[in-house]
Amino acid sequence: MKQIIKNVIIINPYEEPVKGFVVLDGDKIDRVVSGEPEERADSTIDGEENWLIPGFVNTHGHAGSSLLRGAGDDMPLDTWLKTIMWPNEKRFQKNTVEAAGDLALVEMLKSGTTTFLDMYHLNMPEFAQKIADTGFKAVLGRGMIGLGSEDEKKDKLKEAENLIKNWHNQAEGRIVTAVMPHAPYTCPPDFLTKSADLAAEYGVLFHTHCAETAKETEQHIDKYGLHPVEHLHQLEIFKINVLLAHAVHLETEHIDLLKKCNVAVSHNPKSNLKLGSGIAPVVQMKQAGINVTIGTDSTASNNTLDMVEEMRMSALIHKGLHEDPASSSAADVFASATIGGAEGLNIPGTGKIAAGYKADFCLVNTKAAHLTPNLEERAVSHIVYAMKSTDIKDVWIHGKHMMHNRELLTLDEEKVLFEADKQAQKLL
């Protein structure tokens, strides 16, 4: 199907804005053209001089725990995991996780996320089916805590493998899979190695939480005599494609190692601040040439799945931390939240509005006081420092129109919110 989105200002990081139109051929962008279209299409949307921006790529989250939003505030990671997350997650039923997953999809779509990574231990095949049916794009992995009996550990790895076999490169390529052991503090070395072997066997991404808190990092050093980053390297896990979530507590030598081994990082600033985990050395990592992408983590630690908020947080905290406003630019952060995220997830042809790329983008309503003066040359600054996610009015993923004038086209938002409230009540 041929679609045209016309009268828009097309905004990509590091590029001059283009005033014109975009022609889609099926799931791809066929052309980005300046001026007015004279050709016809199966569908033409008039953007009325709105911005067309790449969809956001959220590189770390746990959709299945969305109903725990606000359930455990103001506590550090280990207390929060042991007293709030794990006891509640043990009580989750299929309906709980389904309602939570739907809620996450609604929240992400309404704030312009077109691709996301999800690590969870419950209902992942069912979530994959929901993603396939509703048009989203995701990197999915069976979250694995590598503790328990040998049989339990084997079963988890088997489930991870089955997810890969059944869902890798499925749903017209919108779903890819990855191997996701939870963290070096919940997965002993032999389990991490088996996970990496599985990722290598299928050529998929390896993703894990790493060096999120000082306590966990120090305990790892006490137990193994190695920093978790050195340990993953010693286990030869960095020989495959790796994306680490958090990477807050790193010294220069760990940053150098990550760069040398081409390891990407998912920076989750709001979750790290809220859990009091610290601030990741993003400026140093970027200076070293590491691909630092952006993720939200779950609503239980964030407490939103809003990449616009996350991008702004990321843009601001490092300026304050380093007392240097030039430590990051709007274009850098916008790139990290879009094309950089897609590269970190190893999804080529995603994250940019250009010919040949997948048609994953958002239309932004610029008629708002907080986006005025609406000058093209200030668009990237406005997107990072001023835009609200509610300014996003339309979203496309792989050429499929997913939201129009803030109305979701493939999910029943009212029903999803109702069911989420109902299932959360049941958990009380």
Ligand X SMILES: CSC[C@H]1O[C@@H](n2cnc3c(O)ncnc32)[C@H](O)[C@@H]1O
The answer to whether 207 is a known ligand-binding residue is no
Report the nearest approach of ligand X to the CB of residue 316 (Å).
Answer: 21
The answer to whether 220 is a known ligand-binding residue is no
- Please say whether the beta carbons of 383 and 361 come within 8 A: no
Helix axes 94-110, 124-134, angle to 10 degrees: 40
Q: Please choose which of Zn ion, ligand X, none residue 113 contacts, taking the beta carbon within 5 to 8 angstroms, the exact cut-off set by kind.
A: none
**271 vs 284, which CB is nearer to ligand X?**
271
**Amino acid at the residue 260:** K
Main-chain dihedrals φ then ψ at residue 299, nearest 5 degrees: -65, -15
Return the structure tokens found at 339.
Answer: 């094309």
Site for ligand X in 26-45 (CB under 6 A): none
For residue 209, state whether it binds ligand X (rule: CB under 6 A). yes
Return the structure tokens found at 277.
Answer: 């985990």
The answer to whether 121 is a known ligand-binding residue is no
Degrees (nearest 5) of the Cα angle 395, 140, 302?
A: 70
For residue 216, state whether it binds Zn ion (rule: CB under 5 A). no
- Please say whether the beta carbons of 177 and 168 come within 8 A: yes
Q: Please choose which of Zn ion, ligand X, none residue 145 contacts, taking the beta carbon within 5 to 8 angstroms, the exact cut-off set by kind.
A: ligand X
Report the nearest approach of ligand X to the CB of residue 234 (Å).
Answer: 22
Q: Please choose which of Zn ion, ligand X, none residue 85 contacts, taking the beta carbon within 5 to 8 angstroms, the exact cut-off set by kind.
A: ligand X
For residue 107, state whether it binds Zn ion (rule: CB under 5 A). no
Strand (E) or helix (H) holding 114: strand 113-120
For residue 216, state whether it binds ligand X (rule: CB under 6 A). no
- Please say whether the beta carbons of 187 and 195 come within 8 A: yes
List, as own/partner pairs, every contact residues 399-404 make where C-beta atoms lie below 8 angstroms and the sequence separation is at least 24, other chains included: 399/1, 399/3, 399/24, 399/26, 399/27, 399/28, 399/358, 399/359, 400/27, 400/135, 401/3, 401/43, 401/45, 402/109, 402/114, 402/135, 402/136, 403/109, 403/110
Site for Zn ion in 264-323 (CB under 5 A): 297
Interface with ligand X (CB under 6 A), residue from 27, 98, 102, 212? 212
Interface with ligand X (CB under 6 A), residue from 7, 12, 59, 65? 65
For residue 85, state whether it binds ligand X (rule: CB under 6 A). yes
For residue 298, state whether it binds ligand X (rule: CB under 6 A). yes
Q: Which stretch binds ligand X (CB under 6 A): 7-15, 34-42, 77-85, 349-357?
A: 77-85
Degrees (nearest 5) of the Cα angle 147, 205, 55?
A: 120
Residue at shortest CB range from ligand X: 143
Binding residues for substrate: 89, 142, 182, 212, 297
Q: Which residues are near ligand X by CB under 6 A?
A: 62, 65, 77, 81, 85, 89, 119-121, 143, 145, 182-183, 209, 212, 271, 297-298, 301
- List interacting residues with Zn ion (CB under 5 A): 297
